[in-house]
Amino acid sequence: MSAVEREPAYAAEVFGDRIAAARRYAEHLATTGVEWGLIGPRELPRLWTRHILNCAVVAELITPDDVVGDVGSGAGLPGIPLALAQPNARYVLVEPMERRVDWLQIVVDDLGLENVRIVRARVEDLVDDEIFTAVTARAVKSLAVLVEWCAPVLGPGGRILALKGASVDAEIDKAKKQIRRARLSEAVVHELGVGALETPTRVVELRRH
């Protein structure tokens, strides 16, 4: 198996006094996360920069009174790094796959994350059950689909924070109709971790009127 990336110095800055829990999370990903098929072994040489820190920097957009739904959480990305980097907000990890939910529960319990709840569901089935002030999503469908699925679980003024790669402008263009129909604001693209991460994190923000 590939060697796990050495923890960058930047990690202590991002996680502050929660750095020990972040290290423990990295250990879970690199061991049972790979064994259970939640993360590929080829991701280990970039585990911190491409995954944990790439997600944690989004904490800049989360406020302490947010209730964040992390849609398609998978191995807890970005939800768990965010819960460590902005511990005053509350988080709901939304994931339909039983095996992934089981793994998430083990990890959340082990890290003692009292601000995190796990819900086994598809987000489009949560309309009458959950309401979020922010929804995060990484590597889950196109922006157009995310808007259709997630706008109904946003409270007034709530926002979608979609972590996207280089294709961000094309994705926004393709989602125009859905954005208008869902009465969301013009897309704002944030670049986070500039100067600290080799590839800064791009986040599309859409706010509900």
Contact between 100 and ligand SAM (CB under 6 A)?
Answer: yes
Stretch that binds ligand SAM, among 136-144, 169-177, 184-192, 197-205 (CB under 6 A): 136-144
Give the residue with the Cβ less far from ligand SAM, 74 or 158.
Answer: 74
**Cβ-contact 98, 119 below 8 angstroms:** no
Of residues 16 through 75, those in contact with ligand SAM by CB under 6 A are: 71-75
Stretch that binds ligand SAM, among 5-13, 57-65, 91-99, 184-192 (CB under 6 A): 91-99
Give the residue with the Cβ less far from ligand SAM, 21 or 77.
Answer: 77
Select the residue interacting with ligand SAM from 18, 90, 138, 202 (CB under 6 A): 138
SS3 letters for the chain? CCCCCCCCCHHHHHHHHHHHHHHHHHHHHHHHHHHCCCCCHHHHHHHHHHHHHHHHHHHHHCCCCCEEEEECCCCCCCHHHHHHHCCCCEEEEECCCHHHHHHHHHHHHHHCCCCEEEECCCHHHCCCCCCEEEEEEECCCCHHHHHHHHHHHEEEEEEEEEEECCCHHHHHHHCHHHHHHCCECCCEEEEECCCCCCCCEEEEEEEEC
Task: Give min distance, CB of 202 to ligand SAM, in A.
Answer: 14
Give the residue with the Cβ less far from ligand SAM, 5 or 95.
Answer: 95
Give the residue with the Cβ less far from ligand SAM, 66 or 95.
Answer: 95
Select the residue interacting with ligand SAM from 29, 30, 94, 160 (CB under 6 A): 94
Contact between 140 and ligand SAM (CB under 6 A)?
Answer: yes
Q: Where along the sequence are the contacts to ligand SAM (CB under 6 A)? A: 71-75, 77, 94-97, 100, 122-124, 138-140
